[in-house]
Structure 1
Amino acid sequence: MKIANRMENLSTSVTMAITAQARELKAQGKDILSFSAGEPDFNTPEVIKQAAIQAIIDGHTKYTAVEGITETKQSIINKLKRDHNIEYKLENIIISNGAKHSLFNLFQVLIEKGDEVIIPAPYWVTYPEQVKFSDGVPVIIETDDTTGFKVTAQQVQKAITSKTKILLLNTPSNPTGAVYTKEELTAIGKVLEGTDILVFSDEMYEKIMYDGKKFTAAAEVSDDMYMRTVTINGISKSVAMTGWRFGYLATPKTELVKAMTKLQGQVTSNVNSITQYAAISALEGEADDMIEVMRTEFEKRRNIAVKSFNNIDGLTCINPDGAFYLFVNIQGVTSDSVQFCADLLDKKGVALVPGLAFGTEGYIRFSFATDLATIEEGIKRIKEFVESK
């Protein structure tokens, strides 16, 4: 048997691989602390669990429309209008099995061989892999902690060629927690005016913001950006529903939704029906009080973790404005993030993700989506490891 050639261009998800390795070592009885997974340690809010139970009782256990049930799509529309004052119709929305699935569908229906997708680095590990799998070309724009891990409009302008089809933004960012301001998004939008370039805006962490800062959606900054932006979102992170598998996208381009629906209909069909009904509670704000409890706790953890990392000689860490990750600069110790993480796991039982996996060497990603005692013990072990080197 020969595996198809297309699989040679697809890399294993590093974050999932390290998380699986940490679980395996822990199952063997080893003392492992894992900060590799992008998963809240909170349980799904009770109101959402009860909505799921009620959906089962009411018999909502059958196939649904491929693109999602009307009630859930309407709740997405309500949410986008309420939070960002942007308006969509039912035909502008499609629900998929998580944001990763939404992105895969998008790239598959849009990219022709050789089309370029501009991706700022550090990036979520999935972005360039899906672009390459779709025969596209990832065009990476480098950033670092001196620029807050954000690209400028000027950098975007320089990266544009006749083959550019998509600009992919992630705000708040995984892995850095960087958040684009309204002014920054507006400037980027100005650069794109007069082009056919689409903006994919991954806004999965929008509810996890810190220091009282307001999140701005890419589609809300101008009429032109609204027309070219495909908003990708979901409820995995903000409402602690990672295992429920619910992502969605919104775009005024109905032909794009139709194409994705055709593809999804032949690949996965609809998202789990119970998840769709339960999601209505989250989208309509019924779990907002619990979301704020989680956000407040994440902010507390962030503050302690940032201070602790900056007290380790050789490591530096900027304050993220959103999400639940720190992207720690280790260049005062080594520029080899893969070896750093391998040695740390071996010697101290601490699992982190190397920055190289996110396209930026010399950093490591630390998830603070776990309890404070574990965070403090983990950073203590990292400090001991660094001092030993």
Structure 2
Amino acid sequence: MEADVVVVGSGVAGLTAALRCAAAGRRTVVVTKARLDDGSTRWAQGGIAAALGEGDTPEQHLTDTLVAGAGLCDENAVRTLVTEGPDAVRRLIATGARFDTTPGGDEIALTREGGHHRRRIAHAGGDATGAEISRALVDAVRAQGLRTIENALVLDLLTDAEGRTAGVTLHVMGEGQHDGVGAVRAPAVVLATGGMGQVFSATTNPAVSTGDGVALALRAGAEVSDLEFVQFHPTVLYLGPDAEGQQPLISEAVRGEGAHLVDADGIRFMTGQHELAELAPRDIVAKAIMRRAHERGTEHMYLDARHFGARMWEERFPTILAACRAHGIDPVTEPIPVAPAAHYASGGVRTDLYGRTTVPGLYACGEVACTGVHGANRLASNSLLEGLAAERSTPAPAVMIRWIVVRASG
């Protein structure tokens, strides 16, 4: 098979990149190792961070991002992300994504999450933001008739005699359209394969998040950066010491709406730890939970949101409510047992602000890539925003079109 661009991955980053490439007239093929909507994007609960609210500014978003990143963010990358973020969200809405609105229906409803000093998180379906974004992008890809190959594992990157990217080899697995091994030849490959959470015993990531993109890039000779910066989400439903694989996430937005972290005695322990208490950056909250658990000789703490009442749980957090009840826990009447779990890779394949790796013709976007925008610790809900970066990123024959944000995440 021949193409101009092969996009590997089908989360927010991959599908946004594919749509942009197709719009620029490039023959584009999307390869994904499960179904189009099976990546990390559809599991995202909280929302997208952007300075959309009255009184909020990109400069304030910048400050919160830099603080969360522990002094290791690339400030130029962050400034680009937060400045172009609001328009990127508006373009996503124009693509067909439907966000929750205020009671009057004329403004996007915004909430707060950890590390944010303002309400700037746009959400959809209460706590199903990723699922709505995935739906909108998958619908757009299908409506435009883009070539897609599902259930296909990319085995390796092809390179020519000069070391330039020349395409990919792949294995279309048993449930795919064309079972067997094949190749797609193309002068440009965009890696949008997501994270690597499944290398840890407990993670919020789906089964497909196994670090494939980083491995592919390394084998092709590309540089990687900051792989040590793996973020652990502080509030993941604790299912016992023997639980493995994907664990249910309890969105930061629950704390943003007023839930409290408490120990077995019902005592809050984040007050006095940080000025934002439960809404401190994720690394601070995760460490505080583990420290308190160690002091108490247990493996988890509790998130108490009983004061929300049944109606708020049902309307604002229906996905989380269903997940908890499926495991025998009713957050309407009891605190939720929580513990940190692997959530996001802030490092990855090293790229510039145009998505270019150190291998000619190879691009990376989303969670698999690393521009330094997250530093040592990603700010809550910056990942979906970053995924929209592919809106203006098109691998072109001679010129790389300027990225609208920083790069394309899942």
> Shorter-chain TM-score: which interval?
under 0.3
Q: TM-score, normalised by structure 2?
A: 0.23
Bigger fraction of residues in helix: 1
Q: TM-score, normalised by structure 1?
A: 0.23
